[in-house]
């Protein structure tokens, strides 16, 4: 029987797919931004922090080579999504109630091993149930960015010093609202309250588990033909091309820098001014960081025009240099809170002009039969190895190397390090990245690849 593709049915399905993406990235966006300051508050050592933070990139590496394909071939996508978010949701929910290393690490590892495959599974469900993926996927996937943004804002009312609000005795709703928004938690009370990020993430995951059962049935893919299972090996062989190898290594550098941002920005924003930080109240840290995701939506609309006018190499260089500018502002103007907030806009340029451009480039230049594996090859660097190295080094650099004897952090020197790495990555692209002028798959460049 042919599928019903009437406009009403199509609109209903697209709405479900959009909401699926909202919840999918709401979960990740709820717990990630503040975990980097939460773990030291639990008195975990830098080494223990690294193990917990690396649960996600380890799961990403495992997922790209094993669990994603295993799920694709053996389970209906919507049922796998429901199972993963039910068990993974319970695991991340549990992280809000444990304060010792081994239980926290095990729960985080369980969550990440189940969550990471769902990133590609949600894409699979979306593509399988669209009539025009090139036109529809970008809008559906935008739900993920919106979900990340939405995850930040409830905490403006959760991370509040309610005793301070009560003592202020505000008169009327407007006065009350202003008092609440200006009474964010700081210090140890903020760290204690951060456990609610895991509770909120867990609730969202359980909601998505139930909602997944209402999604269109997406059966497992057929087993690969002989030889297709080695497509990833063919993708690796393409690294013999100098321009591919250069881009792959720069992807690692940019992923490292990108994860330095997530490791350090929350702590920097919330640190008191007299200690070198920005002094932003705890309930505003996540909303401030979400400015980057808002800018990402706007930047994605400009990406096509930018690629047409600047080309692959210079678009990527601009994206990499966005990191350098942002970290230089952190290092040189920490006392200017307004500038620090505004500079978060560069996140959109950093993501769209490099990471999204890389995915589109792979779609344009790699042979169709290995394109999916080639995307995975770059994801190993972007979601896996780059994050793994950053999450291993960043706690040690922040808490040991750049912490002074008086226990304050030398943020200026700390932020100059990723700024220098970004400059080196941009120079590497300018000097060594020279793809052929003729794009083998140029007819596919307009297809969304992120």
pLDDT in tens, 349-387: 999 899 989 988 887 887 776 666 777 788 889 989 999
Q: How confident is the model at residue 65 (pLDDT cuts 50, 70, 90)?
A: low
What does the buried/exposed string (b/e) look like for 172-206 if buried means 16 or more CB atoms within 10 Å of the residue's CB?
Answer: eeeeeeebbbebbbbeeebbebbbbbbbbbbebbb
Between the two ends of the chain, the Cα-to-Cα distance in Å is 32
Residue 247 confidence (pLDDT) = 96
Residues 6+ apart with CB under 8 A from 32: 262
For residue 68, pLDDT over 60 is answered with: no
CA 162 to CA 164: how far, in whole Å? 5
227 has pLDDT over 60: no
Phi, psi of 377 (to 5 degrees): -60, -45
Of 55-59, 295-299, 409-413, the poorest mean pLDDT is in: 295-299
Of residues 200 and 308, more confidently modeled: 200
Query: How high is the pLDDT of residue 6?
Result: 43
Q: For the residues 107-118, what does the mean pLDDT come to?
A: 94
Domains 10-159+194-222 and 231-450 share a fold: yes
Query: What is the CATH code for 231-450?
Result: 1.20.1250.20
**pLDDT given at position 238:** 81
Both structure tokens of 376: 């995975």
Task: Reduce the DSSP state of residue 329 to 3 states and report it.
Answer: helix
Give the residue-averaged pLDDT of 338-354.
94
For residue 311 the two structure tokens come to 């080309």
User: Taking the domains of the chain in order of start, what are their residue ranges?
Assistant: 10-159+194-222, 231-450
Backbone φ, ψ for residue 275 (5° rounding): -105, 10
pLDDT in tens, 174-206: 999 999 989 999 888 999 999 999 999 999 999
Does position 156 have pLDDT exceeding 50, yes or no? yes
pLDDT at 438: 63
Contact between 245 and 428 (Cβ < 8 Å): no
- What is the pLDDT at residue 4? 44
Q: Which residues pair with 21 in a beta bridge?
A: none
Choice between 104 and 377, residue whose per-residue pLDDT is larger: 104
Task: Return the ∠ at Cα 352 (arms to 359 and 55), rounded to 5°.
Answer: 70
pLDDT of the residue at 300? 81
CATH class of 10-159+194-222: mainly alpha
Rounded Cα distance between 443 and 160, Å, is 52
| Region of 331 on the Ramachandran plot (φ > 0 left; ψ -120 to 50 alpha; else beta) | alpha
pLDDT digit string, tens, across residues 250-279:
999 999 999 999 999 999 999 999 999 999
| Chain mean pLDDT for the chain | 88
Give percent above pLDDT 70 in the chain: 89
Question: How much is the average pLDDT of 110-139?
Answer: 83
Q: Looking at residue 297, what is its pLDDT?
A: 86
Confidence bin at 447 (pLDDT 50/70/90): very low
- Predicted confidence (pLDDT) at residue 140 exceeds the cutoff of 90: no
pLDDT at 336 over 60: yes
């Amino acid at each position: 029987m042919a599928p019903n593709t009437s406009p009403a049915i199509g609109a209903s399905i697209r709405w479900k797919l959009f909401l699926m993406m909202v919840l999918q990235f709401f979960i990740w966006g709820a717990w990630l931004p503040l975990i980097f300051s939460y773990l030291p508050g639990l008195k975990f050592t830098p080494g223990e922090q690294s193990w917990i933070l690396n649960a996600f990139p380890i799961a990403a590496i495992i997922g790209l080579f094993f669990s994603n394909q295993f799920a694709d071939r053996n389970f209906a996508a919507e049922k796998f999504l429901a199972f993963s978010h039910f068990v993974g949701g319970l695991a991340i929910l549990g992280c809000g109630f444990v304060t010792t290393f081994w239980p926290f690490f095990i729960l985080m590892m369980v969550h990440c091993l189940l969550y990471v495959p769902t990133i590609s599974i949600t894409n699979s469900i979306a593509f399988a149930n669209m009539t025009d993926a090139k036109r529809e996927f970008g809008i559906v996937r935008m739900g993920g960015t919106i979900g990340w943004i939405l995850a930040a804002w409830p905490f403006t009312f959760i991370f509040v010093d309610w005793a301070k609000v009560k003592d202020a005795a505000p008169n009327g709703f407007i006065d009350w609202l202003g008092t609440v928004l200006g009474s964010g938690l700081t210090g140890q009370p903020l760290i204690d309250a951060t456990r609610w990020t895991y509770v909120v993430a867990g609730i969202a995951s359980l909601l998505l588990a139930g909602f997944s059962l209402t999604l269109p049935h997406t059966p497992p893919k057929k087993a690969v033909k002989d030889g297709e299972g080695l497509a990833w090996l063919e993708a690796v062989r393409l690294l013999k091309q100098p321009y591919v190898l250069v881009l792959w290594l720069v992807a690692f550098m940019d992923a490292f820098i990108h994860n330095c941002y997530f490791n350090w920005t929350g702590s920097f924003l919330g640190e008191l001014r007299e200690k070198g930080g920005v002094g932003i109240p705890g309930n505003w840290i996540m909303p401030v960081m979400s400015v980057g995701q808002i800018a990402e939506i706007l930047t994605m609309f400009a990406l096509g025009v930018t690629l047409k006018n600047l080309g692959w190499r210079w678009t990527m260089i601009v994206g990499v240099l966005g990191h350098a500018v942002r970290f230089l502002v952190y290092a040189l103007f920490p006392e200017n809170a307004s500038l620090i907030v505004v500079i978060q806009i560069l996140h959109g340029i950093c993501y769209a002009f490099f990471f999204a451009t890389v995915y589109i480039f792979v779609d344009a230049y790699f042979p169709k039969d290995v394109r999916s594996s080639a995307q995975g090859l770059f994801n190993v660097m972007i979601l896996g190895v780059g994050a793994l190295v950053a999450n291993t080094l960043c706690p040690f650099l922040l808490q040991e190397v750049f912490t002074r004897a008086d226990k304050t952090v030398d943020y200026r020197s700390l932020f100059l390090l990723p700024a220098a790495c970004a400059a080196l990555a941009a120079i590497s692209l300018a000097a060594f990245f020279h793809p052929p002028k003729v794009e083998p798959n140029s007819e596919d460049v307009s297809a969304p690849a992120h």
